[in-house]
Amino acid sequence: MHGLAVYTLLLMVAAVYGQIPPYNDSCVQVPYPPSKDRAVPAYIINLDLPPEQRWAQVAMEKRKEIGGIISEFKKFLLNFGDGKIFTIIEKLGVGDLFTYNIFYELFTVCTSIVSQDVNGKMYHVRNLDFGLFLGWDVKNRTWELTEVLRPAIINVDWQRDSQIVFRSVQYAGYIGVLTAVKKGVFTYSMNERFRLDGGYMGILEYIQDHKGSWMSLMARDTLETAKSFEEAFNTFSNTQLIAPGYFILGGTKPDQGVVITRNREVNGTDVWPMTDKTAGGWYVLETNYDHWKAPLFLDDRRGPANKCMQHMGQENVGFPGLFNVLSSKPVLNKLTTYAALMQVDSGTLETWLQYCPDPCEPF
C-alpha cells in the first residue's frame, strides 16, 4: 500500500475513533442461544450440478443483497490503489462477480479460536469482521459495508450424492470459503494478514500471469478433497497464495489446533500449535497480527480475547462459554458481521448475526 494511502487510512482511523465514547472491555455473560432473529438461513449447494446451476436459488432469493454488496465493493476499488485494480478488471471484462470474489484478498479483520474442553473435545469459533474503511456512517456510527453484508449471510451444506461434504458460512454470491467444518476431519477459518506485499500486489500479479491461488478457493477445494487434518495442514502450509494470511485449523484429536502464518510465497511459513507455551495450552487464538509481534495499539483484540478465555477457563469450553468470548468487546466491534461456532465430531456449525451497540469500538 502506498505511503499516501497509509497516511489517509490513519487519518480516517483517528476521525472514527474520535466519535466513539469510552467503554469497559469486560468479559460478558450473554444469553445462549441468541434470539432466533439472529440465526441465518440455510441453503444446499449441490456439487453434482454444473457450476452455473449450483447457486441459482441463492442468487434468486438474495439478488438484492448481492447487488448492494457489489456496488459497495466497486466504490472502494475505484479509490483503492489509485483505482488500478478496478481499471484492469474493467479492461479484462471479467465482471462484477469476479470483483466480489476477490475482495477478501484485500481487507478484513477477524478473531479465530480453536480450543479443547477438559475431555479433549475440540471446538473452533470465530467472529468475522468485514468493512473496515468502507464508509463510516457518522450519524449511526456504523460501517456502511458491514451493514450491507449482514443480510447476505447464509449457512451452506455442500453436498455430493445427497451427502454433506462440508458446511460453511457464506456471504451470498461469494463462492470461496472463509469458515467451515468437515465432519470428523477438520475445522477451518481464515484471517487476513496485513503486509505491504499483500493481496493488492498479489491480485495485480494474478491478473497479469495467474500466479498463485486464491485463498478462499484453495480452501474450498481442500475442504472437498482432504481426508485428514494432516492432509489439510500440508495443503494450507505449502500452496503459493495471492495474499498472505492466517489459516486456523482444528482437528478431531486433543491438541490438534494450529495457526499457520503464511506469506504469499511458500517461504517463511510459521506454525503455531495450541500446545506452544506462548499459546493458551488448551487453546490457540489469532486476530490479524503475527503472534510473535505486538498488535497495533489501536486494534488490540488479542489481549481482551485472551483475558476472556482465561476468565472462562477450560472447564467451561463449549458453545455458550465461547460465544461469551466472541460477544465481549472489542472482540465484538462495529465491524463484526457474524459469530460462527463449530464442533468437528458432530459436524455442527451454528452462525449468529452479531451487533455491537454503543458504546463500541469501531474495530
Using an 8 Å Cβ cutoff, are 329 and 129 in contact?
A: no
Whether the predicted pLDDT of 320 surpasses 70: yes
Query: Is 60 a residue whose pLDDT tops 50?
Result: yes
Residue pair 235/172 in contact by the 8 Å Cβ criterion: no
What pLDDT score was predicted for residue 137? 65
Could you tell me which residues are beta bridge partners of residue 110? 128
**Catalytic option among 110, 308, 356, 360:** 110
The DSSP symbol for 49 reads S
Q: Which residue has the higher pLDDT, 37 or 201?
A: 37
**Grid coordinates belonging to 121:** 473435545
Largest separation between any pair of C-alpha atoms in the chain: 56
pLDDT value at residue 314? 98
pLDDT digits (tens, 9 = 90+) for 130-141: 866 556 667 778
Examine the pLDDT at 85 and tell me if it is beyond 80: no
Mean pLDDT over residues 111-119, rounded?
98
Q: With 90 as the cut, is the pLDDT of residue 221 above it?
A: yes
- In this predicted structure, what is the pLDDT of residue 69? 87
The Cα 175–Cα 189 span in angstroms is: 15
Nearest to 153 by CA among 362, 352, 356, 341: 352
What's the whole-number mean pLDDT along residues 318-330?
98
pLDDT, position 7: 39
Query: How many Å apart are CA 144 and CA 334, to the nearest integer?
Result: 10
Spatial separation of the C-alpha atoms in residues 112 and 47, rounded to whole Å: 28
pLDDT the model gives residue 208: 63
In SS3 terms, 264-315 reads as: CCCCCCEEEECCCCCCCCCEEEECCCCCCCCCCCCCCCHHHHHHHHHHHCHH
pLDDT of 14 over the 70 cut: no
What number is the average pLDDT over the span 171-190?
Answer: 96
Note the pLDDT tens digit of each residue in 265-307.
Answer: 888 899 999 999 999 999 999 999 999 999 988 899 999 999 9
- Does the structure show a pLDDT above 90 at 121? yes
> pTM of the full predicted structure?
0.90
Question: Per the structure block, which three cell numbers stand in for 153?
Answer: 449471510
φ/ψ of residue 34, rounded to 5: -65, 175
**pLDDT confidence of residue 141:** 82
Listed residue (134, 137, 125) closest to 104, CA to CA: 134
Indicate whether 1 pLDDT > 50: no
5 has pLDDT over 50: no
Instruction: Give the span between the Cα atoms of 105 and 95, in whole angstroms.
Output: 17
| Residues in contact with 207: Cβ distance below 8 Å, sequence separation at least 6, in sequence order | 85, 88, 89, 92
Q: Which residues have C-beta within 8 Å of that of residue 11, sequence separation ≥ 6?
A: none
Long-range contacts of 85-92 (CB under 8 A, 24+ apart): 85/200, 85/203, 85/204, 85/207, 88/204, 88/207, 89/207, 92/207
Peptide bond just before 359 cis, omega within 30 deg: yes
- Cell 499457520 maps to which residue? 260
Q: Which of 212 and 353 is assigned the larger pLDDT?
A: 353
Distance CA 244, CA 202 (A): 9
pLDDT tens digits along 336-358:
999 999 999 999 999 999 999 99
Instruction: Measure CA of the first residue to CA of the last residue in the chain; give whole Å.
Output: 20
44: helix, strand or coil = strand
The answer to whether 342 touches 124, Cβ cutoff 8 Å, is yes
d(CA 351, CA 264): 30
Predicted confidence at residue 88, as pLDDT, reads 62
Does 110 participate in catalysis according to the annotation? Answer: yes
> What is the overall mean pLDDT for the chain?
86
Give yes or no for residue 72 having a pLDDT over 90: no
